[in-house]
Amino acid sequence: MLAAPHALRSYEYWLFQYKRTYKGSLVSTILFPVLFLASMGLGLGTLVDQSASGGVDGRSYLTFLAPGLLAATAMQTAVGESTYPVMGAIKWVKTYHAMLATPLGVLDVLVGHVLFIATRILISAGIFLAVMTLFGASESPLALFALVGALLTGLAFALPTIAFAAVTENDAGFAFLFRFVVTPLFLFGGVFYPVEQLPVVLEQVAYVTPLWHGVDLSRDLALGTATAAGTAGHVLYLSVWIVAGFAVAARNYRRRLAV
């Protein structure tokens, strides 16, 4: 049975490790939204707004783009924290093995790490939301709830990635993951333009990806166009990925770490 205090001990370890490196990560976490929103939202966005379309769906390109980038940032942070750190904790540094030499169990180790990844997602998303608000890209008080959407989006990617990282034998699979999953989703998941502009086949593929649901949820909340049914649908879909990912991750951790 999972002992919550033990899982928090695992979480505490990852927080202590992050205390040593957070300054460097915060610099990139702040610079990414500033540079991306300035170049794409204001630079390219000016051209889009002056075109015949007059923006996207009657709104400025900046306000359309920013919530999508918020969800994409959550995805990228989640995958980054769920690949090499997990493999390192199993194969190289053997952090998990050291934890298991204490009263912590396998689920305690997993839950503690997931809690830390959730914290990293919230930090990145929170900074991004603050920057996009300063850029004037939040049109509704509901934008604050986009943090929840970003967290769900990040966890929908983190848990399946953790499950994969726990059983892969080398980091070659991570290069495949970033190149053929994360990058295409970033480009074709509705972040930069409505997926309705894609060919029909790609459009249908986009609709089943967690990123599109995260982007649409964050955008609806930031723009104040969210509906109860649409929000519930997105939350439910992302939750399915989270629950299924956790189940597979727990199984893989038991197989890899149980002694």
Per-residue pLDDT for 40 more than 90?
no
Rounded to whole angstroms, the Cα distance separating 149 from 220 reads: 10
Confidence of residue 258 (pLDDT cuts 50, 70, 90): confident
Give 194-240 pLDDT, tens digit per residue.
Answer: 999 999 999 999 999 999 999 999 999 999 999 999 999 999 999 99
128: tokens are 């991004």
Give 150-185 pLDDT, tens digit per residue.
Answer: 999 999 999 999 999 999 999 999 999 999 999 999
Per-residue pLDDT for 259 more than 70?
no
Q: 179: burial class by Cβ within 10 Å (0-12, 13-18, 19+)? A: exposed
Write down the pLDDT at residue 53. 67
Per-residue pLDDT for 2 more than 50?
no
| Nearest alpha carbon to residue 81 among 161, 168, 176, 195 | 161
Write down the pLDDT at residue 25. 84
Q: pTM score, two decimals?
A: 0.94
Give 144-155 pLDDT, tens digit per residue.
Answer: 999 999 999 999
CA dihedral 206, 207, 210, 216 (to 10 degrees): 100
| Nearest alpha carbon to residue 80 among 166, 16, 165, 137 | 165
Decide: 67 and 218 in contact? Cβ < 8 Å.
yes
